[in-house]
Amino acid sequence: MDPTHSTHRIAFSFAPGIFDIERMRSALWCDDECGSAYVQLDADWSRLLPALGKIGLLMACAPSSPVTAAVALKTARFENVPESPDWVCLESGMEISPAKLGGVLATLEPLEGGQQTAALQFFDRSGEGCLKLLVTNRSDIAAFEHLVSRHATPQYITPFGQTGSAAALTLGSAEPNAQAVRSLWGGLRRTLPTSAFPGLEGLSRRRALGLAGLRHAWQIRETAVMPLIRAMALADAPLGIGVRNEAVFLPVGMYPTHWADCCCGTTFFAGASQLTLRRELSQAEVWVTRFEVRGQETLCLEIYDDDGSFRAGLGLRPEAMPTHHIQWKHWLREAAC
């Protein structure tokens, strides 16, 4: 079973009037032509992020170009990472980098059938949405309204600009040392993936995979990803997924049970999580990374956008059966370019 599965359905649509606009400082709210209402919140991250835990169960959704992942957070309790500007959710392992955030809105958006959703929408410094926290039927609505009321602020222009993202990494004139990449390979699996290769300044992770050699990494066809995830869903295999965008890293564990096409691609569903493979996957690069852990071979997928930035990683969770590993490894080797 999905480790996040619950017998009670999680929903995030509400009848109009559930949320008290007056309590949330209605004078500061704006409307758009689509019928949505929104208010800008201040960027007091040291107060706002810890307050999220009081709202209760939220649905976190993080887009990252070729993929989008979503997972239910029972308690989004964030704490500052020691000796770091970043914050981590203690329950899920999700990380947020406030230095790369451009702002956050509280939103009320209409749905077909007269329902509406309520959410906190975070943006990176280029103005792109990087995280959406949807209020659910198991959220504390009063706590959400209190957070919005406390942090609501008059709308202002956020100074969006360059984030210094890993996509902007440039190599020096000297050819990177392939032997240096291989010597650091064993430690790579113990780091959360970013677009930079740890230990070699200025070297992108994507470039390092190409240098490592076929014993450590190889490229596969992007068209192989969809049927692979479908096969794993049919086999009831447990997947571990990590999605990264400019400001957020969202890890998700799921047992995908079924899938359906949507307006932006194909979405795989589990009890309390989702993975969407977007149409942008056709322009992405997909790589397999190989590690040996206590004599056992581990293969993982890494997805890069057309700029060479790391966007997502997929692998089998520790509870996977031997048959799952056999099927996974066979597919990844057969799909090599």
Average pLDDT over residues 74-103: 94
pLDDT score recorded for residue 33: 84
pLDDT score recorded for residue 158: 58
Nearest-10 Cα torsion for 158, 246, 280, 283: 120
Average pLDDT over residues 207-225: 96
Computed over every residue of the chain, the mean pLDDT equals: 91
Average pLDDT over residues 195-221: 94
Q: Is the pLDDT of residue 172 over 90?
A: no
pLDDT score recorded for residue 3: 43
Taking the CB of residue 261, how many other CB atoms lie within 10 A of it? 8
pLDDT score recorded for residue 168: 47
Average pLDDT over residues 268-272: 95
- Walk across the sheet containing 87-89 and list its strands: 78-80, 87-89, 95-96, 248-254, 239-244, 310-316, 296-304, 285-293, 217-220
Q: Is the pLDDT of residue 163 over 70?
A: no
pLDDT score recorded for residue 1: 37
Stated pTM of the model: 0.91
Q: Is the pLDDT of residue 211 over 90?
A: yes
Angstrom CA distances, 92 to 60, 76, 150, stand at 10, 8, 26
Taking the CB of residue 233, how many other CB atoms lie within 10 A of it? 20
Angstrom CA distances, 86 to 127, 136, 310, stand at 19, 26, 19
Residue, of 173 and 40, whose pLDDT is higher: 40
Q: Is the pLDDT of residue 309 over 50?
A: yes
Average pLDDT over residues 284-305: 94
- Would you give the end-to-end CA distance of the chain in angstroms? 34
Q: Fold identical between 26-151 and 176-182+191-334?
A: yes
User: Band of the pLDDT at 9, cuts 50, 70, 90?
Assistant: confident
pLDDT score recorded for residue 28: 96
State the chain's maximal CA–CA distance in angstroms. 63
Q: Is the pLDDT of residue 170 over 80?
A: no
Average pLDDT over residues 258-264: 94
Q: Where are the beta strands (DSSP E) in 87-172?
A: 87-89, 95-96, 101-110, 116-124, 129-139
Angstrom CA distances, 122 to 56, 118, 234, stand at 18, 13, 34
* Residue 186 amino acid letter: G
In whole angstroms, what is the distance from residue 220 CA to residue 277 CA? 16
User: Band of the pLDDT at 242, cuts 50, 70, 90?
Assistant: very high
User: Is residue 55 within 8 Å of residue 168, measured between CB atoms?
Assistant: no
pLDDT score recorded for residue 165: 46
Tell me, which fold does domain 176-182+191-334 have in CATH?
A: Heme iron utilization protein-like fold (3.40.1570)
Average pLDDT over residues 279-289: 97
pLDDT score recorded for residue 157: 56
pLDDT score recorded for residue 102: 94
Of 3.10.20.30, 3.60.15.10, 3.40.1570.10, 3.40.1190.20, the CATH number of 26-151 is: 3.40.1570.10
pLDDT score recorded for residue 2: 46
Domain ranges across the chain? 26-151, 176-182+191-334
